[in-house]
Amino acid sequence: MTIDYALYYWPGIQGRGEFVRLVLEDAGASYRDVAREPESKDGGMPAMMKLMKGEGQGMLPLAPPFLVHEGAVIAQSANICAYVAARHGLVPKDDASRANALQVMLTIADCADEAHDVHHPIASSLYYEDQKAEAARRARYFVSERIPKFLGWLERVLERGDGDHLIGKEHSYADLGAFQLVEGIAYAFPKALGRLGPKIPRLLGLRKRVAERPKIKAYLASERRIPFNTKGLFRHYPELDVEVGDEMEP
Ligand SMILES: N[C@@H](CCC(=O)N[C@@H](CS)C(=O)NCC(=O)O)C(=O)O
């Protein structure tokens, strides 16, 4: 079997690479997850670092995830998702729908960035333990203002559409991204999501439906799906899943 895509991402975490993995999996694409493969098979961290140092052809990536396809090196998670989706029928063909799908995916990436910045509000190069006070302060705002804003917006986009899909009447990579965002928030901020749940029925319905897509279901049950953990983008620290009351309006 020919392998079409090579995904490069930190081994051991879902992170931003997971948004790409879900699109590759739902597309049924053949791909390598290079940094998770043994060095003896040209995988592992050395293979990824080589490309990050510019010791390869194609565009120089700033940070993982990046995808190599037919010699092109493509970075930025939302951009990679859009690229793969367009090749596998996971986004409508017209320009406006494609721009809207990317808009949704970039907004999801913004929320994922903010979820990261809750546990690393000062610097990614510092340990969480070195920025706990700032993280606790930031968590209050993320939980009370930002989660309701982002998830409430996705709910409204669904409501204004057919109720089931973010883009038109078709399943697209935007739906896969929304699924992963909700999964990440459910893991990291279960109490916050529990409180918000009654206000986002369509988004929770989308989450369920995506999880039941045959290829996604098989992937989620496989070893390829790395469990969430406290090294990734979405981290569960109980002290950050703070209780807030009436501030939870979307
Ligand atoms: N906006 C980029 C962010 C990429 C990014 O921050 N990657 C992380 C891992 S998830 C990283 O390794 N960053 C290293 C760095 O920024 O120096 C994307 O969505 O792909």
Q: Distance between alpha carbon 176 and the CA centroid of its chain, in Å?
A: 9
For ligand 1, whether the C-beta of 177 sits within 6 Å is no
Mean pLDDT, all residues of the chain: 96
Separation CA 141–CA 119 (nearest Å): 13
pLDDT in tens, 188-215: 999 999 999 999 999 999 999 999 999 9
Which residue's CA is the closest to the ligand 1 atom numbered 6? 63
Which of helix, strand or coil describes residue 93?
A: coil
Predicted confidence (pLDDT) at residue 3 exceeds the cutoff of 90: no
What is the pTM assigned to this prediction?
0.96
Q: Distance between alpha carbon 151 and the CA centroid of its chain, in Å?
A: 14
For ligand 1, whether the C-beta of 16 sits within 6 Å is yes
For ligand 1, whether the C-beta of 65 sits within 6 Å is yes
Report which of 23, 21, 52 is spatially closest to residue 36, judged by C-alpha positions: 21
CA distances (Å), 186 to each of 67, 71, 108, 153, 194, in order? 27, 37, 15, 17, 8
Predicted confidence (pLDDT) at residue 144 exceeds the cutoff of 60: yes
pLDDT at 2: 80
pLDDT in tens, 67-94: 999 999 999 999 999 999 999 999 999 9
pLDDT in tens, 51-68: 999 998 999 999 999 999
Predicted confidence (pLDDT) at residue 225 exceeds the cutoff of 90: yes
pLDDT at 159: 98
